[in-house]
Structure 1
Amino acid sequence: MPVIVRLDVMLALRKVRSKELAADIGMTEANLSLLKSGKVKGIRFSTLEAICDRLECKPGDILDYEPGEGLPAERAAAPA
């Protein structure tokens, strides 16, 4: 998957536990764990906003993009 979730890094930098973040933003610990592991296919902007607000960061601090990883060969080779 070309989108990499780096939420665990931001939690460590901010010294915030997953349980605390989940409670603060109204998300279950199980769903937050799935998000941290990158096992979700999407995230609501409102959830991303709540995470960024709580951790005082920007979406780019949490999400990264590595082109070409996980894309079918024809899409990876196609010009943008």
Structure 2
Amino acid sequence: MKLADYKNLNEEEQYRILWDEGVLIDACIDGTNKKLLYAIDNFFVELWCHTITNKIIWKLSFKQGKLLEKYLNKYSAPINPDNLSR
């Protein structure tokens, strides 16, 4: 599925695909919000839920950019060539 196809679906169908096909990539707590990053085919969905009620507050789908970079930067580590096995 392409991102444009996903965005053209109604919200109920988007959530069905998110729960059925989405792969949870990352999760973190930020104050009273739980942020979840899912991958679906070649795009991502970021979901914010209230930590106490578990109610969905916000959902955004995207392929790249600052929303994805914050997750990539979280896990990026410099490579030390001296530690590579030969």
Q: Larger strand proportion, structure 1 or 2? A: 2
Q: Larger helix proportion, structure 1 or 2? A: 1
Q: Which has the larger radius of gyration?
A: 2
Higher normalized contact order (CA 8 Å, seq sep 6+, divided by chain length): 1
TM-score by length of 2: 0.28
